[in-house]
Amino acid sequence: MSDVLVRARGLTKRFGDFIAVDGIDVEVRPGEAFGFLGPNGAGKSSTMKMIGCVSPVTSGELQVFGMDPATHGPAIRARLGVCPQEDMLDGELTVEENLWIYGRYFGLSRREARARAQGLLEFAQLTDRRSDRVEPLSGGMKRRLTIARALISEPDLLLLDEPTTGLDPQARHVLWDKLFRLKQQGVTLIVTTHYMDEAEQLCDRLVVMDGGRIAAQGSPRELIERHCSREVLELRLDPVVSATGTTGAARGVELLGEAFGERLGERVEVLPDRVLVYTDDGEAALEAAHARGVRPISSLVRRASLEDVFLTLTGRTLVD
């Protein structure tokens, strides 16, 4: 067994003329939590489906557990746990039935599948709902059940496609906690997400995908250091004044550009209602802005986050 669980070289997925994944190189090692980060349509899910052996590779090379999905799909899937974007539970069946029947698909005996379901009910904190139908459960409960179901085969690698999309903050934190526990038990995780905090919380390493390609890769910290400044100064300017184009924002940006462009070569980004200044010293930048006569409605100095990296790399245009 090699020290790489997933190895992709020039991995490509095409649907007709549309290129969903455009020649990506990825390596996932045992025990790590690996993230695919990107906006909608970046190719994250298509990549996950190829790794999960439920979508054939168009071209390039892909190996999972050292095997080729084209020839060893069932053997690979036997060692995978998959938590898809949609829950795919049978709402008419009970929580427990959804669990043990899934175990049967992996060739577990009924007795073994039922025994494992007990432990997983506890893991998912669903023991007291075991005999209830799935349909009326909350979104968070369904998600926990889906993850528990993915674990019934005791997989070596867990694929999670947007595991917390659509959940409330409490449910998300409970899930992160569960996933962190799994990781500590040695389960390798591959996560797709468009939540930056999720990537920062969960992922040891990640790739940022955009338009089917890899825009950047590294640990969350590395990415921030490489693609962003240490701090970000956010200046909220008067939208009315800026709309009339007189003083306010327009003039403010001009002044800011002069101030920082000349002095530090720092990047300034103008949004409809705000100006972002990427700088290593936010307070100093704010002072400099004041000195130049910029009078923002409010200002905020914060640490740069993965979100800044993400928006820097993938842009602010809405992708649908």
Partner 1 sequence: MAALAVLDYFWVVYRRTWRGSVMGRFASPLMFLGSLGLGLGSLVDSASGGVNGVSYLHFVVPALIATQAMWVALGESTYQVMAYIKWNRMYRAMLATPLGVGQVLFGHLTAVAAHLSVASVIFVGVCAALGTLSGWGLVVCIPLAVLTGMAFAIPLFAVTATLDSDEPMSIIFRLVVTPLMLFSGTFFPIDSLPVALQGLAWITPLWHGVELCRAAVLGGAGPGLVAAHLAVLLAYVAVGAWAARRTFTRRLVP
For residues 45 and 279, give the distance between their C-alpha atoms in angstroms, rounded to a whole number. Answer: 34
What would the x/- binding string for partner 1 be over residues 3 to 22, using CB under 8 A?
------------x-------
Interface with partner 1, residue 54, by CB under 8 A: yes
Query: Could you tell me the sign of the dihedral formed by the alpha carbons of 305, 308, 309, 310, in that order?
Result: positive
Segment near partner 1 (CB under 8 A); pick from 101-109, 186-194, 216-224, 262-270: 101-109
For residues 143 and 174, give the distance between their C-alpha atoms in angstroms, rounded to a whole number. Answer: 11
Which residues, 6 or more positions from 256, have their beta carbon under 8 angstroms from its beta carbon? Answer: 235, 268, 275, 277, 289, 292, 294
User: In the set 10, 91, 166, 293, which binds partner 1 (CB under 8 A)?
Assistant: 91
Query: Could you tell me the sign of the dihedral formed by the alpha carbons of 196, 167, 55, 73, in that order?
Result: positive
Interface with partner 1, residue 57, by CB under 8 A: no
Interface with partner 1, residue 132, by CB under 8 A: no
For residues 124 and 149, give the distance between their C-alpha atoms in angstroms, rounded to a whole number. Answer: 9
Interface with partner 1, residue 106, by CB under 8 A: yes
Interface with partner 1, residue 315, by CB under 8 A: no
Shortest gap between Cβ of 23 and partner 1 (angstroms)?
A: 19
What would the x/- binding string for partner 1 be over residues 107 to 126, using CB under 8 A?
x--x----------------
Contact 141, 98 (CB under 8 A): no
User: In the set 4, 101, 196, 313, which binds partner 1 (CB under 8 A)?
Assistant: 101
Contacts to partner 1 from residues 143-172, by CB under 8 A: 153
Instruction: Give 56 or 293: the residue with its C-beta nearer to partner 1.
Output: 56
For residues 108 and 116, give the distance between their C-alpha atoms in angstroms, rounded to a whole number. Answer: 10
Size of site (CB under 8 A) for partner 1: 29
**Token pair of 29, please?**
């090692």
User: In the set 78, 241, 270, 311, which binds partner 1 (CB under 8 A)?
Assistant: 78
For residues 189 and 63, give the distance between their C-alpha atoms in angstroms, rounded to a whole number. Answer: 16
User: In the set 82, 124, 174, 309, which binds partner 1 (CB under 8 A)?
Assistant: 82
User: In the set 90, 112, 156, 269, which binds partner 1 (CB under 8 A)?
Assistant: 90
Instruction: Give 36 or 102: the residue with its C-beta nearer to partner 1.
Output: 102
Number of Cβ within a 10 Å radius of residue 71: 8
Interface with partner 1, residue 70, by CB under 8 A: no
First vs last Cα of the chain: how many Å apart? 40
Contact 78, 153 (CB under 8 A): yes
Task: Report the half-sphere exposure of 259 (CA within 13 A, side-chain side).
Answer: 21
Instruction: Give 42 or 253: the residue with its C-beta nearer to partner 1.
Output: 42
Helices 139-150 + 110-123 axis angle, to 10? 140
Which residues, 6 or more positions from 277, have their beta carbon under 8 angstroms from its beta carbon? Answer: 232, 233, 234, 235, 256, 260, 266, 267, 268, 285, 289
Interface with partner 1, residue 104, by CB under 8 A: yes
User: In the set 4, 67, 93, 270, which binds partner 1 (CB under 8 A)?
Assistant: 93
Shortest gap between Cβ of 113 and partner 1 (angstroms)?
A: 9
Instruction: Give 162 or 200: the residue with its C-beta nearer to partner 1.
Output: 162
Segment near partner 1 (CB under 8 A); pick from 52-60, 221-229, 230-238, 248-256: 52-60
Q: Which residues bind partner 1 (CB under 8 A)?
A: 15, 52, 54-56, 73-75, 77-78, 80, 82, 84, 86, 88-93, 97, 101-102, 104-107, 110, 153
